[in-house]
Structure 1
C-alpha cells in the first residue's frame, strides 16, 4: 500500500526535485533509480543516516514488505522483538521502564493516515519545500517531512545543522518554505535576526511546549506566526493551532486535526481516537490504552470551545528541548558504571523555557568520586542525555520519593 503510494508520487513528480542536500539536487526519478540498486530486505529495515539514506530505507522496507525503524544517526541498533503484530509496516521506539527502548507497532494504513492528515491540515504541496532542520528520525520529523516527501511529493531541502547562517542561506534559495522546528530552534533563529523578512510560508513548532513569550516576540518583531503542533509517537498528529495571531494561553494546543477525536477521561487525561493510532506496544503496562483506534495520553487537560488546553504532563520521560529520554536509561547507565549503590534520574524545569527540562541525577556513591562518575557517563550517554545537575544522597527518606516528588523539590 505504501509502495503503491510512492509509485503514484513518482508518476506525478518524476522530474521534479525531491531532495536538495548541499550541492546535490536529487529528483524523484533519481531516488527511485537508487532504490532499484538496493538488495531485497529480508528483515526490518533501519532508516538511519542522511535524509537520502532515510528516504531510501523507508522505500526499501515498503518495496520488500518489511517494517521500517527510523533511528538517529550514531544510535546503536536495539534488540528488536522476536515477532511483530500482523500487518506491521513501521516501528517507533519509546522510553522503556528499565532503560530498554520499547517498540510501538504501526500498519501501513496508520502511517499513511498520519501523513495525509498533516499534509491536508498544513496545506503541504510540491511547490513549497519542507526545510529539514528537525530530526528526520523523530516521530515529528518523519511524519512531517519524510512521509509528505514520499507520499505527497513535497520536496525537502536538507539543512546539515540548524545554525542561523546556514538556515538563512537555505531559506533564501526559495520563494517560500515550510519550516518545522522545536521551540529551542525558533528561539535561536529569532535571536539571530534571520526571521525578519524570511520567506517562510508556514512556521510550525512541536516537540516541546511553545512559550507565549517566544510566540509573541517572533510575531511582533518579524510578523511570523508560529503554529503550535501537538502529537504523540503512539498516534501521530493530534491537534494544530491554525490561528494567524498569537495564542492567548500557553496551554492552548489548538483544535483536533480533521478525523481526530479527543475526550477527557475521568482521570483528566486526553483520550485520542483516530485512524493513525498504533497497533500497540511491544509490552503493555497496566492502565495503558493503545490500539483499536484509541490512545490514552499521559497528558492532563480540558477542552474549551473546541480547543485542547494542556494542564500538566504525567509522562515520566524527560523533555530536553523537544527530545525525550526515559529516566530508566540514565539510571541503568549510572548503575552499570559500578561506582554507585543507588541512582535516580528525573527532569527539573529549565531556566530557559524553550529547553523545557534538564536532567538531574541523584546518586549514592559506592566508590570513586562524582567527577569520575560524570566522566564515565560521557562515554555512554549522548551530550543531550547527560545530567546537568548532580547530587549525592545517603538519606533513605529521599529514595522513597517518587520522581514527581523529587522534581517538585527542585521546582
Structure 2
C-alpha cells in the first residue's frame, strides 16, 4: 500500500464500518464509494494533488470520508479542531498556505459557523451528510511523491518561541502506525471501538480511526465526549481508547450513581495522550475488571512509540516497551539512567513544513527524533516517562502550549510580562497564567481577554496578577518557582476586582 485510502478498499466492503452520531450506519463499501464521490467533487471544485486543505471538523462519518477523499487526490489534509477560534484558524491557514477549507457542518455547529464566516460552497450532499468547502485561492503546489513518502497529514504543534510548527506525516507513517495499532490491540471485524477522541488530533486519527479500519473493526463515532452517552455505549463497545481525563469523568459519574462495577462489553481499555496516575489506573481497573493499558506517543511520531503489552499488563504507570519496528535511545542519561528519549522508525515525521531549521534541530545525524521528554528504560525495554522537558500542558486531553497562551496574555495593554505553566488538579492539568502588570487589571478581565482570542480549553483557569514575577539575572522568568511562589494566592478564590 502507498496511500491511506487503500486500507479502506482492502476491508470487507459488506461489513459495518461505522455507526455515526445520528444513529446511521455505513458499510466499508459505502464509505469507500462516498470517498470516491467526495474526491470527484473536490477535484471539480479545483483541489489539486499537493494542495493543503484545512479539514475543520469534529468526529463523524463525513470527517473520515474527507480524509480518504483527500488521500485519493494526493492532497494534504491539514487537521483543524473546529473548536478553535477564527483567529487561530486564520493563522493555521496562513502557515499551511492552504488552498481551501473543508467543513462537516451537519455534525459540528462549530464547523458550520466557520464555514459561514469563510464563505461556504456547498458540494452535492453525500449519503453521510454535507461537505462544504471555501473558495479556492492561489497557493503554491507541493511536489507529489509516487511512494509512501508523500505527505498525507499536516498537523500543527507549537515551537519553543510560540510559533506553530507543521508536522508533516506521510502515508507511510500512517500506514505503519495504523497497522501497529490494529496488531497491538488484536482488532478483528467482530470488535466495536468507541471513538470519542478528536480525529483532528493524531491519536484519534491514526490509532483510533485508521487503526480500526485496518482491523476491519466497527466504529461508534461521537463528535464530543458526553459522559452519560459514553457509559451507555460501553455496553456495546469491545474497545475504548481515551485520555485519562475521560476515564476520570466516567469514574466520577459512576461513583455518584453508587455503581461499584460498570456494566460493559469491553475486552480492552487504553489510556494515552497524557500521563496516567496510579490512583486513576487502580480505580478504573476496579470499576471495569480489566487492566488499563498505557502508552506513549507524540505528534511527530504519528503518534505511537510505546504501549504496554496485552498479555503482560503493568501494575505501575510505565508506558511499555517500544512498539515493533520502533527504535529508542536515551541521550545524555544521568546517574539514575534518565535521559532525553529519542525515537527512530517508520513512525517518525518527514519534517516540519517550511521549517528546515526546526527539522534539523529536532533530528540527530543518524535519524533519531529528539522528543524533549525525559525517560528511563528497564532491561526488558519497558519505558518510564519521567517528565516532560518541554512545557506542553495537557488539559482535558487537548494540547495547550504555554508560549501561545503567554502571547495572548502579553498582548493585553496592561500586561508587561506573562508566563504560563500547568498545575495538576483533579487528575487533569490546569492552565495557570501569571502576569506582571503596569496598569490596573483584574483576573476576570484577563480571562475574558483570553477567552475572546483562543479556544476554551486553552483559557487559563487562573491568572495571577502581580507587580513582578520571579526572574533570573538574565531577566528570564523562573517558571518552576511560580506555583510555589504564588501558592497562597492560588489557594484563595479568584479576585474579580
TM-score using structure 2 length: 0.75
Q: Is structure 2 residue 387 aligned with structure 1 residue 316?
A: no
Specify the alignment match of 1:200 in structure 2: 266
| Separation of aligned partners in 1, 2:351 and 2:14 | 39
State how many pairs are aligned. Answer: 404
Deviation at 1:410?
A: 6.1
Q: Of 171, 183, 191, which residue of structure 1 is paired with 2:244?
A: 183
**Residues 260-288 of structure 1: CA distance to partner in whole angstroms, max 9, x if unpaired?**
11111115111112111011123344742
- Asked if structure 1 preserves the Cα contact closer than 8 Å seen for 2:185 and 2:310, the reply is no
| Separation of aligned partners in 2, 1:257 and 1:241 | 9
Structure 1 segments of 4+ aligned residues over 6 angstroms from their partners: none
Specify the alignment match of 1:27 in structure 2: 27
Specify the alignment match of 2:187 in structure 1: 124
| Separation of aligned partners in 2, 1:287 and 1:8 | 34
Deviation at 1:53?
A: 2.6
Q: Is structure 2 residue 296 aligned with structure 1 residue 288?
A: no
- Across the aligned residues of Structure 1 and Structure 2, the Cα RMSD in angstroms comes to 2.5
Deviation at 1:104?
A: 0.9
Q: Is structure 2 residue 230 aligned with structure 1 residue 167?
A: yes
| Separation of aligned partners in 1, 2:17 and 2:157 | 30
Specify the alignment match of 2:430 in structure 1: 358
- Asked if structure 1 preserves the Cα contact closer than 8 Å seen for 2:81 and 2:200, the reply is yes
Q: Is structure 2 residue 65 aligned with structure 1 residue 53?
A: no
Instruction: Answer with 1 or 2: which has the greater Rg.
Output: 2
Which one is further off, 269-278 or 219-228? 219-228
| Separation of aligned partners in 1, 2:289 and 2:349 | 38
Q: Of 342, 348, 354, which residue of structure 2 is paired with 1:277?
A: 348
Specify the alignment match of 2:331 in structure 1: 265
| Separation of aligned partners in 2, 1:135 and 1:261 | 28
Specify the alignment match of 1:13 in structure 2: 12
**Residues 116-136 of structure 1: CA distance to partner in whole angstroms, max 9, x if unpaired?**
111111112222121011111
Specify the alignment match of 2:132 in structure 1: none
Deviation at 1:402?
A: 3.5
Deviation at 1:290?
A: 6.7
| Separation of aligned partners in 1, 2:364 and 2:27 | 38
Specify the alignment match of 2:461 in structure 1: 388
SS of alignment partner, residue 400 of structure 1: coil
Deviation at 1:90?
A: 1.7
TM-score using structure 1 length: 0.89
Q: Is structure 2 residue 221 aligned with structure 1 residue 158?
A: yes
Which one is further off, 29-38 or 384-393? 29-38
| Separation of aligned partners in 2, 1:162 and 1:396 | 37
Deviation at 1:183?
A: 0.8
